[in-house]
Each structure stands twice: as structure tokens, then as C-alpha cells.
Amino acid sequence: MMSGAFDGVRVVELAQWVFVPVAGALLADWGADVVRIERLDGDPYRGLATQGIGTDRGGVNLSMALANRGKRSVALNLQHPRGLEVLHELLASADVLLTSLRPGALERLGLGADAVRERHPHLVYARGHGFGMRGPDADQPGYDASAFWARGGVGHILTPAEREYPISQRGAMGDRNGAMALAFGIAAALLKRTRTGKGSVIDVSLLATAMWMLSSDLLAALNGGEAQPVSGRGMLVNPLTVSYRTKDGRHIQLMFLQGDRYWGDFCRVIGRPELADDPRFVDMAARRENAKACVAELDAVFAERTFEEWKAVLSPLDAPWSPMQTIHEVVDDPQVAANSYLGTVLLDDGTEYRLPAVPVQFDEHPPHLRRAPEHGEHTEAVLTELGYDWDRIAELADAGVIP
């Protein structure tokens, strides 16, 4: 294994479900020792059945594997004073506390930011939450479908106006985008600590993540404009930035923002060189004025060939276009394979499965993906690292602090 950027960094993760645990997994990918603290009955995400990737899969729970790869799991009862004592011993040896608990729960446990930083001033204290740490809804529970998709405006902006109900979100979209931001914040705070010697408090909310993703629409709203509604192919301002339907019902996406740069070559490649000099389409201004006519011409052209045929025809064109792929085609895309955007996890029994890799690569290499831990798998090992002998470990088990 290559050395990781976070080798030697210990993260104590007090979180469940997807958003914050994925941030921990990203840090683990690059070498951090992520010790996740689970309740005695385990993260409820372990029991989620959905899409044939959770407990309903009949094999490896891929949902848990993606969110918790490379970590260690300690099962600990934080409602017990001795459980909190163990946690603080861990925090004394840690660099980061990563948590998804709501403000009220953290305060009840004596784990609010002020209390923890007073006791462990070296810690980076990182929180992921639904709606931010201030305001009337700071303590409201938030999942990505509510805090990100609904409250953050993503569902509204992506739903065609003619639909009676909003379109549904894909699984954990906001969670995994928020996790990237949270991991970035932690990395920045660790860098800052090398200069100041002090930890920082890092906050990322699903609401803020949605707003960042919708920055273009927010800029329009902030300047008195209106976000353009999604409907069919959208506004036909530039016929070279829309999708076209092929003979077999698939689609090709053009994205020629510099239309005049590509128009002549494009017309020659598709076998319609005369369109390049057509006065209606000769430049961007003409194509905009005659957008419907230009789209109609190209609709007819694209309807003449199949999806695979168009991929072959357009492949020599040095311009921004892409086939509109299915998710199975993405998995088998040679570009995905060439860049190792999917990684393989090998289990001790020889079983293996694939997971999406973190999109960041160091020195042109993806991280080595490791398996996710079983519930409480490393409880005893971590306690012995803290100096506990087997008698003390047995006492904690008898007291209901550990399983």
C-alpha cells in the first residue's frame, strides 16, 4: 500500500447513516485511522434494505461498505458515564472528532463544541448537519431528501413545470456531496493546526451543500432574475448545447458553448457540410435567432443513425459531446476503467466486490479500498491500545458499556 496523505491522523467518528460517515470513509481512504463509535445496537443504516445494495442483497451490504470502508468499529454505550470516559480517552489520542449528532444530543452528552475543545484543544471538531448550527431549525433532524433536496431547492429546480409532483431524488445525492465538503474542511483545519497548534470547529450542512450546487440559479435570484425552469430540452437558445434523439431512442448530448469554433467541423462530420454556410445557421447569432429551425434540422439528422453509430461517427470530432449513458454503461466505460474510478475490495475469504472510488487521486493513483468493519469488531483492540487490560474490559462488558 502507498502511504496516505492522512497517515498518522486519528479520527473518532460519532455518526450514523450516510452523510458524515462518508466523510470519514474518504479520510480513511487516504490513510486516516477512523474509529467509528457505534451504539450497542449498531448504526440503523446497517439494517436498511433498498435497491438490492443493503441488507436485501443477500451478501455484502454495499451501502454500509461504501460509507464505512477502511474504518474500525467500536460499540460503546455513551449513555453510561464509563462509556463517555472511554470516549474522552479516545479523543485525547485523536486529531479529529467527526459527528452527525444534533446540537441538543451533543449538549446532553457534554460533547458540545465548547466543552470538548476546552478539554481537548488540539482537536478538529467537525460537524455535519441538516440546516446549520444556528437558527430556529438547527436542532431539526435532516436527511438529504429533506434538508438538501427539498429545503435546498434542488428538487424544485429539477422538476419539469408540467409535472404534478416533484421528481424523486437518487439515493444519498446530498449526503455524498456534503461529505466531500466536510472532508475538505477537515483537511483544511488539519493544515491550519500545523501553523497554529490549535484545532478548529468545522461545519457543513446539507442545506448549504444544496445552495452551493445551485449557485448559478442563486446568482440569478440574488440579481432579481428568475431561475429557468426545467422542461423537456430546456430553452433552445443555443441548438448546439442540447441533446438529440437517435434512431433507436437513445440520446447524444452536445455542449458546444463556443458554437462557431465547432460548427463547421461538426457539419462535415455528420455529413451535412452545407449547413455550415446556411445563412440561418452561419454563426451563433443566426443560430440563436433560428434556433427552432436549426434544432429541427439536427433532429432529422440524428434520427437517421443509432446510438452506437453516432458514437462512432462523432468520435473523431474534437469537441465537447457525450453519449447519454445508462448507469450500466458507466460501469463498463473504458474511461472509467482506465482511470480506476471503480475500486475492488478483497475480503479474507476471497470474496470481492467493487465500489466507487473517491474522485480525488494522489500522484495519479486511486486509494487502496479496504472493507468496512462489522459492528463493534474492533472494540477490544482499541481498548487495549488505550491501556485497558482484560479485567477492565470484562468490567465494561458486565456494566453494559460495551457488548
**Would you say 83 and 47 are in contact if contact means Cβ atoms under 8 Å apart?**
no
Give long-range contacts, CB 8 A cutoff, 24+ apart: 264-271: 265/317, 265/318, 265/319, 266/240, 266/317, 266/319, 269/313, 269/314, 269/316, 269/317, 270/301, 270/313, 270/314, 271/301
Q: Pick the catalytic residue from 33, 43, 175, 217.
A: 175
Q: Measured between alpha carbons, how far is 40 from 115 in angstroms, rounded to an integer?
A: 25
**Would you say 301 and 270 are in contact if contact means Cβ atoms under 8 Å apart?**
yes
Q: In whole angstroms, how far apart are CA 117 and each of 103, 129, 346?
A: 15, 19, 39
Amino acid symbol at 268: R
Q: Measured between alpha carbons, how far is 107 from 114 in angstroms, rounded to an integer?
A: 10
Shortest CA distance to 30 belongs to which of 3, 10, 68, 56?
Answer: 3
* Residue matched to cell numbers 482484560: 390
> Is 248 one of the annotated active-site residues of the chain?
no
Q: In whole angstroms, how far apart are CA 70 and each of 85, 244, 381?
A: 25, 43, 16
Q: Measured between alpha carbons, how far is 210 from 34 in angstroms, rounded to an integer?
A: 27
Q: Vertex 69, ends 66 and 71: CA angle to 5°?
A: 145
Shortest CA distance to 189 belongs to which of 197, 335, 263?
Answer: 197
Shortest CA distance to 36 belongs to which of 118, 96, 85, 82?
Answer: 96
- Residue 17's contacts (CB-CB under 8 Å, 6 or more residues apart) are 43, 44, 45, 67, 100, 143, 175
The residues assigned a catalytic role are: 175
